[in-house]
């Protein structure tokens, strides 16, 4: 299987200097979606962003699987609220 690599129509410096409309033109130029699909995607992203906690806000409570050293599920779960007052480090990623 051969892949074709499309060269960017602008450099990173040129892209950084573009206004929002210019960036949209570049995105549409290099993608295979229509302007309507792009606008629908951006509307959905803006709605999603409205529910994201901001820096300094309380994180929403959630439960997560506890993994063993080989990254396999142990069957145990941990709830964020059970760790209140303790240092917590979160690593997000795929272990599949």
Q: Which residue has the higher pLDDT, 8 or 6?
A: 8
Q: What angle, rounded to 10 degrees, do the helices at 20-30 and 35-50 form?
A: 120
Confirm whether 24 is domain-assigned: yes
Distance separating alpha carbons of residues 70 and 78, to the nearest angstrom: 18
- Per the structure, the count of domains in the chain is 1
Query: For 38-57, how does the pLDDT look when each residue is reduced to its tens digit (9 = 90+)?
Result: 999 999 999 999 888 888 88
Per the structure, the complete domain to which residue 39 belongs is given by 12-50
> Is 21 a member of any domain?
yes
pTM as predicted = 0.52
Query: Is pLDDT of 70 > 70?
Result: yes
Domain annotation covers residue 84: no
């Amino acid at each position: 299987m051969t892949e074709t690599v499309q060269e960017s129509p602008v450099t990173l410096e040129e892209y950084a200097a573009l206004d929002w409309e210019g960036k949209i033109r570049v995105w549409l130029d290099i993608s295979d979606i229509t302007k309507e699909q792009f606008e629908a995607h951006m509307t959905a992203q803006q709605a999603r962003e409205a529910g994201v906690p901001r820096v300094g806000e309380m994180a929403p409570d959630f439960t997560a699987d506890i993994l063993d050293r080989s990254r396999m599920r142990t069957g145990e779960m941990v709830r964020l609220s059970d760790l209140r007052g303790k240092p917590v480090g979160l690593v997000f990623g795929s272990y599949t």
